[in-house]
Amino acid sequence: MNNHNSNQSLSLPLKKLTLASMFASITVVLSFISIPLPFSPVPITGQTLALMLSGSLLEPTTAFLSMIIYLALGAIGIPVFAGFHGGIGILFGPTGGYLFAMPIASFVTSIILKSGKISFLKLIISNVIGGIVIVYILGILQLSVVAQLSLKKAILLGALPYIPGDFIKVLLSSYLALKLMPILKKRIKTER
């Protein structure tokens, strides 16, 4: 058996796992940026910035895995969610839909970017679709069900106040991704 081929086949999954773990860690750190709003159970957090970055910089399965690792850490009780919370109860509480959306949103963001040339505009569009639209849809639906709110009230409490800040995160993550892509590509030899 050729040792070089064996090491090469092992290094690619190891690189992907390392990247997924690194972005899960970035998500943990950014989740500690948490600003509660007195009128809503949903805080302003840095989590969506992290998921946008993972979707923008990682290939789809690695981006998805990074958010799954993050959710698994929180589900087993490690306080990695907003406000230093952890536990399975958070995932099934009013804000759990936003969390469950994270792997899907990161994956979709990455899928959109996989085809064609990457530009600032394409990054913005993919981050709006993944980081805002998908997250809001799942988040609002669970908020409505768990908190027993009408869909309209859930949108008023769980989406509208966050749109301006989330667009700032879209612009920031798109800019950072554009600057970091060449560095990541050179150092890790990713597909992007």
Q: What is the per-residue pLDDT across 99-111, written as a single tens digit (0 to 9) for each?
A: 999 999 999 999 9
pLDDT classification of 12: cutoffs 50, 70, 90: low
Q: In 3D, which of 57, 30, 40 has the Cα closest to residue 154?
A: 40
Checking if the pLDDT of 5 tops 70, the result is no
What is the predicted pLDDT for the residue at 189? 65
**185 or 32, which is more confident:** 32
Among 106, 115, 122, 32, residue whose Cα is nearest residue 69: 106
How far is the C-alpha of 162 from the C-alpha of 57, rounded, in Å?
24
At 154 the pLDDT is: 97
- From CA 179, how far away is CA 90, in angstroms rounded? 34
The better pLDDT of the pair 11, 130 is held by: 130
Largest pairwise CA distance in the chain: 63
CA distance 184 to 177: 10
pTM to 2 decimal places: 0.88
**pLDDT tens per residue, range 49-84:** 999 999 999 999 999 999 999 999 999 999 999 989
